[in-house]
């Protein structure tokens, strides 16, 4: 394989690599991808809101269960004390003490009933907020899923193109001498992906700067020829 053929293969490789670069950039900068990321953030925020409300609802349920349990115990105790009071058989002092105890228990029962009703109101309000938050999340998740599907569809198209470019690249690479390939790869990293410039009318296609006739003769003596300005490989 002669040098000119190697340069031709390098040009083909660079064209494929630039196509791959463009496709990768397109893949990461799809407008719908930005829309999806925004929708994902919105849905994540809605999930956070729902999670907090669900935790508050669980606490309210726990408080209600506890309060209802305490009310049942209080009612059972009141029933027992009322039964003892109405059954009689106690001294006047014992009867008075028992009457005061019953009055106290009834007062506590009323307070506990009010407390239970308050907790029920809180629980019902939280349940309504949870339901609204769930509906809001469902709506936002639906938008997120639609955009995710659109991104996936676009990515499938781009990935198919990338696969074709990578297959073409795999066919070209064996045609290039390893040392030439190594120089090309190194230059690509430092030259924004453009390692080779075509010399046209004395102008480097890489940096677009002109080379004098003497400079062109100097460059031609190098192996491989490289631009005096940007040090890219030059091809005529």
Q: What is the mean pLDDT of residues 166-175?
A: 95
Condensed to tens digits (0 to 9), the pLDDT of residues 204-232 reads 999 999 999 999 888 888 888 999 999 99
Q: Provide the pLDDT for residue 67.
A: 94
CATH number for the segment(s) 28-174? 1.10.287.1700
DSSP state of 206: T
Would you kindly state where each structural domain of the chain is located, as residue ranges?
Answer: 28-174
Q: What is the average pLDDT score of the chain?
A: 92
Q: Provide the pLDDT for residue 6.
A: 66
DSSP string, 7-68: HHHHHHHHHHHHHHHHHHHHHHS-HHHHHHHHHHHHHHHHHHHHHHHHHHHHHHHHHHHHHH
Instruction: Name residue, tokens 């726990």.
Output: 62
Instruction: Name residue, tokens 């040392």.
Output: 179
- The answer, yes or no, to whether residue 2 has pLDDT greater than 60, is no
Structure tokens belonging to residue 72: 């049942």
Instruction: Mention every residue, 6+ apart, whose C-beta is less than 8 A from residue 112.
Output: 67, 70, 71, 74
Assess contact for 165 and 19: CB atoms under 8 A.
Answer: yes
- The answer, yes or no, to whether residue 1 has pLDDT greater than 50, is no
Condensed to tens digits (0 to 9), the pLDDT of residues 53-85 reads 999 999 999 999 999 999 999 999 999 888 888
Q: Provide the pLDDT for residue 160.
A: 98
The C-alpha atoms of residue 91 and residue 98 are separated, in whole angstroms, by: 10
Condensed to tens digits (0 to 9), the pLDDT of residues 26-48 reads 999 999 999 999 999 999 999 99
């Amino acid at each position: 394989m002669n040098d000119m053929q190697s340069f031709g293969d390098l040009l083909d490789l660079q064209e494929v690599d630039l196509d791959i670069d463009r496709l990768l950039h397109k893949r990461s900068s799809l407008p719908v991808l930005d829309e999806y990321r925004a929708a994902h953030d919105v849905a994540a925020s809605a999930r956070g809101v729902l999670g907090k409300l669900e935790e508050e609802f669980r606490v309210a349920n726990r408080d209600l269960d506890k309060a209802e349990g305490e009310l049942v115990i209080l009612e059972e105790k009141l029933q027992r004390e009322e039964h003892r009071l109405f059954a009689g058989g106690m001294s006047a002092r014992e009867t008075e003490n028992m009457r005061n105890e019953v009055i106290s228990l009834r007062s506590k029962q009323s307070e506990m009933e009010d407390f239970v009703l308050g907790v029920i109101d809180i629980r019902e309000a939280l349940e309504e907020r949870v339901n609204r938050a769930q509906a809001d999340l469902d709506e936002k998740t639906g938008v997120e899923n639609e955009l995710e599907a659109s991104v996936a569809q676009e990515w499938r198209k781009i990935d198919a193109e990338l696969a074709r470019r990578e297959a073409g690249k795999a066919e070209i690479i064996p045609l290039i001498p390893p040392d030439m390939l190594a120089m090309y790869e190194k230059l690509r990293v430092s030259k924004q992906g453009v390692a080779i410039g075509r010399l046209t009318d004395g102008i480097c296609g890489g940096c677009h700067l002109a080379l004098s006739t003497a400079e062109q003769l100097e460059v031609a003596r190098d192996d491989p020829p490289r631009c005096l300005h940007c040090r890219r490989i030059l091809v005529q």
